[in-house]
Each structure stands twice: as C-alpha cells, then as structure tokens.
Amino acid sequence: MNKVIDLSTFKNKQLPKNTRENHEKGGDLTELLKKATILRQEIEELKETVVITDFAGLRRIFETRLSAIILKTKNIEVDFFLCGSYIASLLAEIGNNVPESWFAIDYLFKNAKSNNPNDLKRGANVCFLICSVFPKRSQIRCMKYKDYQALGRGLYYNYYGQTGKAIAYFMSKQFQPMVEITKECLRELK
C-alpha cells in the first residue's frame, strides 16, 4: 500500500516584491544581456573547433548556445538568462553525476521522509531532463510527459518554498519554455 504525502507542510513563500531584493536574488538584466552578447559572439569561435577538455568547457558551450537561443527568441527577461545558466550547469553535470533514480516521484517520497529540500531539487531536475533531453523516458511507468511537466514545475516551486532560492521559482515559472529552448540547443549541437 502506498503512503499519502501531506503537501500542506511545505512552506509557501512569495517571490520578493522589492526590486532591490529581486536584483540581489535574480541578477541585473543589463549584466545578463552583456554576458549573453559575449557568449553569442563566442558561437562563431565554437563553430570552427569544438574541443571539450572538461565539464567547465561543456558548461560554457551549453550556456553559449542557450543564451543565443534566448536572444533569438526575444525572451529577454532576467529569469530566462538565469534559467539558461542553471540548465547549462545541469546539462554539464549529468555527464559526471547521473541521478540516483530516474523516477522523479522517488525524490518526493525521499523528501517526505528526510525533509531535505535538495531531494525536491533533484526530483525537479530529473523531470526537467526527462522533458528536455530524454522524452522517451516519460513513457516508462504510468506517468506521461505532461505528468513530468507538472511534477517538475511543482517540485521546483516547492523547493523554492522551502529554501527561498529565486532560481527555483524561475525554473517553475519558465519550465516549459526552457524545455523547448533546451531541445533547440541540443538539436543545434548535433
């Protein structure tokens, strides 16, 4: 028999309304645009030769491609650039740290037992990877692709609720657009 998890124990924090707090937590849009422009210029260099010597180099390639796509699609908002940077790190780390489970619900159960918010983050990351990189994995078990979308958004939001980390709020808010941007990034790398 499965256990019922009481989600009412999760803290429900609101995104800070004060612009100064948003600046401190989310970054400055001007700085992010400058960084995206520099990364976009590096694409030409990357097209010539792509030599990956470490995961930092791989992260840089992902971040460059994601920033270029964000600029191309005119999603010029702080949250998109921060999510792009987060996703670049996530994609680079997957080569080094494979998730302990590809069943996202396992992380929800683990969080219910340990009350460790990092379990929510890991579960949300798995949902994001399944939706953006490994969509065929969404056909395993009874869950469907849309279930992973909803669960991923919810896990990121609950992680934000427990930790107050703005990137989790942004990932929950921009989950599906960032999935599409990541898919396009991976198509361009082929």
Mean per-residue pLDDT over the chain, rounded: 79
What pLDDT, on a 0 to 100 scale, did the predictor assign at position 103?
Answer: 85
The predicted-structure confidence for 107-166, as pLDDT tens digits, reads as follows 988 998 999 999 999 999 999 999 999 888 777 777 888 999 999 999 999 999 999 999
**Structure-token pair, residue 71:** 């600029």
Instruction: Label residue 24 by pLDDT band (50, 70, 90).
Output: very low
- How far are the Cα atoms of 49, 60, 84, 109, 115 from residue 42, in angstroms, in the given order? 11, 10, 16, 43, 42
Say how far apart CA 104 and CA 147 lie, in whole Å. 10
Say how far apart CA 39 and CA 52 lie, in whole Å. 16
Say how far apart CA 152 and CA 78 lie, in whole Å. 21
Average pLDDT for residues 21-37, to the nearest whole number? 58
pTM: 0.73
